[in-house]
């Protein structure tokens, strides 16, 4: 497996690759949810590229950025065992020579749901994803339905900007309890970990979004939003200082 810290070396290597290129962008601290995206790419593409970059421009909260888990050694071992061709590990200076003066902004969906409580979050996401697409030049890109709003916005960007890329959605991977796997789950204490699966259970079983919000609040979640949109029930809720998101089909 090739591991690139240097953007020019990576671009050079990429130009030498033939066949269908699959790309999985991540922020590391990899778990089974990420591995499902990687495996889907390995099954479909000739070459699978994974990037690991904790993108500061999408963090509206400095503490969340500072506390973001990192397990680079384990991540690289796991990706190598799976058969990934290359891992790209850029840094901020490399990806943002403009220091984020140029941005991709979506003006409607990005303002709702997670965007309403995380101002600028999706500008950061769309901008870094477009930069990574332009560096990796993938045919297929793999995104998790767990981040349904993010996935929808990236699909929209691909369409709006005529990017010659196919987005492949990958269903949410969950623990047996129903809790959606997330790198941030590591920060839950044991009591919060017990309560966390209720987020999925309530979203699935409540008769409407309002009832779900009420039930979650009664259980002790600090609910950011629960809303039905596009045949999905989307939610974000805090347990202590950990913000959980999830969505289910309705
Ligand atoms: P992140 O490292 O959190 O930026 O996530 C990288 C990619 O993995 C995104 O496309 C996420 O939607 C996806 N992902 C994260 N958790 C899960 C999960 N539990 N199931 C499926 N995909 C996931």
Which of the listed residues 143, 170, 197 is the one where a domain comes to its end?
170
Query: How many Å lie between the centroid of ligand 1 and the Cα of residue 159?
Result: 21
Q: Which domain holds residue 115?
A: 2-170
Cβ of 147 closer than 6 Å to ligand 1, yes or no, is yes
Model-level pTM? 0.98
- What whole-number distance in Å separates Cα of residue 158 and Cα of residue 126? 10
Residues annotated as part of the active site: 34
**How many domains does the chain divide into?**
2
- What whole-number distance in Å separates Cα of residue 30 and Cα of residue 175? 15
Sign of the dihedral through C-alpha 182, 186, 191, 193: positive
pLDDT confidence of residue 56: 98
Question: What's the CATH number where 233 sits?
Answer: 3.30.1300.10
Which residue owns the Cα nearest ligand 1 atom 12? 144
Same domain? For 153 and 107 the reply is yes
Same domain? For 105 and 211 the reply is no
Same domain? For 195 and 163 the reply is no
Same domain? For 190 and 143 the reply is no
Cβ of 187 closer than 6 Å to ligand 1, yes or no, is no
Which residue owns the Cα nearest ligand 1 atom 10? 143
Q: What is the mean pLDDT of each run of 10 residues along the chain (250 residues)?
A: 98 98 98 98 98 97 93 98 98 98 98 97 98 98 98 98 98 98 95 98 98 98 98 98 97
Residue 129 resides in a domain: yes
């Amino acid at each position: 497996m090739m591991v690139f810290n240097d953007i020019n070396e990576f671009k050079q290597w990429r130009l030498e690759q033939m066949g269908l290129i699959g790309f999985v962008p991540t922020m590391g601290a990899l778990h089974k949810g990420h591995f499902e995206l990687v495996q889907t790419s390995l099954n479909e593409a000739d070459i699978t590229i994974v990037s690991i970059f904790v993108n500061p421009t999408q963090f509206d909260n400095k503490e969340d950025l500072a506390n973001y888990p990192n397990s680079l050694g384990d991540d690289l071992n796991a990706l190598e065992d799976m058969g990934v061709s290359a891992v790209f590990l850029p840094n901020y200076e490399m990806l943002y020579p403009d220091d984020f003066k140029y941005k991709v902004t979506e003006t409607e969906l990005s303002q709702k749901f997670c965007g309403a409580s995380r101002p600028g979050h999706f500008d950061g996401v769309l901008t870094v994803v477009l930069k990574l697409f332009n560096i990796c030049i993938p045919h297929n890109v793999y995104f998790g339905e767990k981040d349904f709003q993010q996935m929808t916005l990236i699909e929209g960007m691909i369409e709006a900007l005529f990017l010659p890329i196919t987005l492949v959605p990958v269903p949410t991977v969950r623990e047996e309890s129903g809790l959606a796997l997330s790198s941030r789950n590591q920060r839950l204490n044991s009591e919060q970990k017990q309560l966390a699966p209720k987020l999925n259970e309530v979203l699935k079983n409540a008769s409407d979004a309002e009832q779900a919000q009420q039930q979650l609040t009664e259980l002790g979640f600090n609910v950011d939003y629960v809303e039905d949109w596009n045949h999905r029930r989307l939610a974000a809720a805090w347990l202590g200082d950990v913000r959980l998101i999830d969505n289910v089909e309705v």
